[in-house]
Structure 1
Amino acid sequence: MDDLEQLAKLIERSNQIVVFTGAGISTESGIPDFRSPGGLWEKNRPIDFSEYMASEDARREAWRRKFAMDEVMGNAKPNKGHEAIARLYELGKLNCVITQNIDGLHQQSGIPEEDVIELHGNTTYAKCLDCHERMSLDEVREIFQPEETLPICQKCGGIVKTATISFGQPMPIREMQRAEMEAIESDLFLAIGSSLVVYPAADIPVIAAQHGAKLIIINREPTQVDPIATLVLNKEIGETLDLVTKL
């Protein structure tokens, strides 16, 4: 039995599957990997959350970068990998998706928003940092351009930011707690397209394995968690998931 057949059998026999995704699944949709050598964070130093809060200049630079990035990310669509995961959800095999990605492509693929646990937030909308009122990017763009006027919350006057988790910003407690619970209750845990080096998110697959789940890692490169995995596939993600879910 080859690796793909083995994975297909594991999926078939499992009832509590949880998927964990990282940047590797979205690069196949044309979205750059921020952290890799030559990536955007190497060319542009990330703006720390404390700097964003303290400096209007930092906030303006953050919004400039955001709208420049939208020219790259704005046309991204779910790929074969996202669609294969959505098929597992439709079949009732998949409890939820835990993701480090901020692009909203799992939701676009058909998985309901409430079953996508976003550990690092979402870049497709903005929100007030005080009252959490949601704001569309079109609204922000209309305010910001062309004179770079900073958006403020229309409800409470608070600072508005993309709904992502920045460097120095606390991880979302509710999402982290739910991710850990889902990992503990899973019987098969698929870690897909993640280098598994960004903590605390990278602890989630380990927690699943420690509580008895079979851990599958699908990533182009080896990870430090490979030794505790049931199965490791160093393959292209979209093609691999598409084949496995159709076996």
Structure 2
Amino acid sequence: MDGNSPAWVRGVSRVAVLTGAGISTDSGIPDYRGPSGVWTRDPELAEIFTRKRFVADPGVRRRYWRHIGGLYRADVQPNAAHRALAELEASGTAVRILTQNVDGLHQRAGSSPRKVLELHGTLATARCLRCGATEPTPQVLERVAAGADDPPCLKCGGTLQPAVVMFGQFLDSQVLSLAQNIARHSQLFLAVGTSLTVEPAAGLCAAAVECGATLVIVNRDPTPYDELATEIVREPIGTALPRICAALRSAAA
């Protein structure tokens, strides 16, 4: 995208944005599949995100809790890309965010919580797999820091799992249905910082295009959906997305 606003920003009042790990790397949260991603550097670490292994192996749970503790560091804050989407919403454009991330940074940046659909759940809450009791994850992590490296449910002693979708689990059917509906009714569908290799979330791109939306992909690496895109932006998300959002605001003014 050059310095002039592209034609696809004109006349857009409904924007759906699918975001992946790449949008949060400027906040200090590493992605998973990139050249320096968590799983690229340590392929075995992907096993701790598998539901079957998590449930069966206390050692996997201990490693999992240590890993996600990094997402709650004091220095993890929303970055320019998160803020740009919140500002676009505040300007009056109908923006719906469909995020594969579980870090809550979109909401912390100012996006309306009801307009952020967390496809893969949230790290904010942990749920007991036995009795269903919930506990705020930061509170669980305080117990981890105090020495409870496999923290049990406070009510029944069962296994706690953050309220995220792990490998081997299905997305919530109601959440997926709503996401598909949002994609199909969008005029512009932005896929930002996602490898588009995890289904069914990645398939939202095709659902949007099939219903007439313009697909724009903002990602460092090629994706399986590039051929459907009107434009592919390879530059850093922290500069590309604020410029796209500014162009949308300007075109709507």
Could you tell me the TM-score, scaled by structure 1's length?
Answer: 0.87
What is the percentage of aligned positions where both structures have the same residue? 36
Correspondence 1:220-231 to 2 at 5 A: 220-231=220-231
Q: Distance in 2 between matches of 1:135 and 1:78?
A: 24
- Unpaired runs of 5+ in structure 1? none
Q: 1:218 to 1:148 in 2, by over 3 A?
A: closer
Q: Which moved more, 1:144-153 or 1:207-216?
A: 144-153
1:99–1:116 Cα contact (<8 Å) kept: yes
Q: Secondary structure at the match of 1:217?
A: strand
Q: Which residue of 1 aligns with 2:4?
A: 5
**How far does residue 35 in structure 1 lie from its aligned partner after superposition?**
2.2
Aligned length: 242
**Deviations along 1:85-104, whole A, 9 cap, x unmatched?**
11111122133100111111
| Equivalent position amino acid for 1:218 in 2 | V
Q: Distance in 1 between matches of 2:177 and 2:195?
A: 21
Q: Which residue of 1 aligns with 2:149?
A: 148
Correspondence 1:5-84 to 2 at 5 A: 5-7=4-6, 9-42=7-40, 43=42, 44-47=45-48, 48-67=50-69, 69-70=70-71, 74-84=74-84
- Unpaired runs of 5+ in structure 2? 248-253
Q: 1:147 to 1:159 in 2, by over 3 A?
A: closer
Q: Distance in 2 between matches of 1:74 and 1:127?
A: 23
Q: 1:81 to 1:66 in 2, by over 3 A?
A: closer
| Equivalent position amino acid for 2:121 in 1 | G
Q: Which residue of 2 aligns with 1:99?
A: 99
Q: Distance in 2 between matches of 1:74 and 1:46?
A: 27
**How far does residue 205 in structure 1 lie from its aligned partner after superposition?**
0.9
Q: Kindly indicate whether residue 194 of structure 2 is the aligned counterpart of residue 194 of structure 1.
A: yes
Q: Secondary structure at the match of 2:95?
A: strand
Q: Distance in 2 between matches of 1:133 and 1:91?
A: 39
Q: Distance in 2 between matches of 1:12 and 1:157?
A: 56
**Where in structure 1 do 4 or more consecutive aligned residues deviate above 6 Å?**
none
| Equivalent position amino acid for 1:62 in 2 | Y
